[in-house]
Structure 1
Amino acid sequence: MDFENIYIEEENNLATITINRPSKLNALNQRTIKELHVAFKELDEDPEIKVIIVTGSGEKAFVAGADISEFANFSVKEGRQLAAIGQEKLFDFVENLTTPVIAAINGFALGGGLELAMACHFRIANSNARMGLPEVSLGVIPGYGGTQRLPQLIGKGRAMEMIMTAGMIDADKAFAYGLVNHVVSPEELLPVCAKIGSRISNNSSVAIKYAIKAVNAGFRYDADGFSAEIDAFGTCFGTDDFKEGTSAFLDKRKADFPGS
């Protein structure tokens, strides 16, 4: 697929996806969602890529929401389809990706932008970042998982306040709420993401895949997180990465994981 609204850079087992619609503050339209789906899928299938970072182009926005002009005249049926397809192709897809995804929030992360960041496995923001779910000010609610993931991350009461007021919080408050893991200067954002990504890439990609699955199971209504953990833990014993990791520990050397 030829990308119009994103570009990808790869270095040292890390891939950075940049959403590149600066004139629209990187707002998510259907084309961009489709491109992101393809990019995440291809990178997840690349054994050389151990960590994916997603960010926005420019200094103003990570993603400043969805492209409202695309759906302002949608019917009820079309609205439901918009949310269902978006969740399947991007937001749920990213959350369940087996390659770790870090959101590098470099400015406004509003509406669908915050929902994309929350679908990532964790978030790092620069000090200029602003986050919010303003959908109720447009007569609609978050439709890409925001009503579910925000309470999981910051608690029901705080999530209710953010959603009902349609207000924004700054990076420091997002850190205090547990919405982001770190707040850094704008210049440090991508280097810090790359540094953490490098630390992740030194570990077993197979074990990380199963850890992601087990953690996610604990937040699903139709799964038992503890059972998922037991199953994933046992499965790890049959992998080459487990053999290499335990052998390296006993031999007092650095592990060289084969990724299988």
Structure 2
Amino acid sequence: MLSLIGIGTGNPEHLTLAAMREINAADLILIPRKGKAKADLAILRETLCRDVLTNPKTRIVSFDMPVRDAADPDYLRGVEDWHDAIAAVWMREIAEHLPEGGRVALLVWGDPALYDSTLRIAARLLPPERIRSIPGIMSINALTAAHTIALNEIGAAFMVTTGRHLREKGWPDGVDTLVILLDGECSFTHIDPEGVQIYWGAYVGMPEQILRAGALSDMADEIIHTRAKARKQHGWIMDIYLLRRTIMPHGGKAAP
């Protein structure tokens, strides 16, 4: 049995009772290492386990994550090859540390179902009935809670998308609220800032949390500078932002 456990931002207070129960039910917990620059992420997972583990028989094993070939011009093919490589590493570690079988767990930032490939990788190894997905607090929830805002306007739709899509396709028609994830290039600089509010957060829910909010025209440069400084300081960054139009491109106001 393979359990993929959503851990929110890594804050122990974000763990559900189901997540804590699943961690303690595991015979083996696999912790990925992603190089020196992201060593803090592995340490956070290990610390989280030690904070909630009461089962003395549970083993914690770290492994080196394969690196995706960013030079591959075929993005989807490169990702598929990368996932194959990760699945092979999981199999190797499980065979070595749990040769007679048992319960294996991996801790997933946020929720396994949102912009995370752990479920797709797990499907390479086991049938669905032997995979458990434990929901966790998503970064979207953490962001809106930190800024004390509602995710959607009354009766209105919103869209969750990526920085790549915002850069390449622009603001989609029919929605006034966008939530942007996986954006290492500050893609909000590619849209017309008129009438747009931004609610940005980095390390949301963690002790290092940084929040910025205001008119996009006023906040863009400050967020770019703050983001670069934080990434340099920590060696990595997890950030997310919400964009909301208060003035439509044709000059009208967004629906309340």
What TM-score results when the alignment is normalised by the length of structure 1? 0.23
Give the strand-richer structure, 1 or 2.
2
Higher Cα Rg, which structure? 2
What TM-score results when the alignment is normalised by the length of structure 2? 0.23
| Structure number with higher relative contact order (C-alpha < 8 Å, ≥ 6 residues apart) | 2
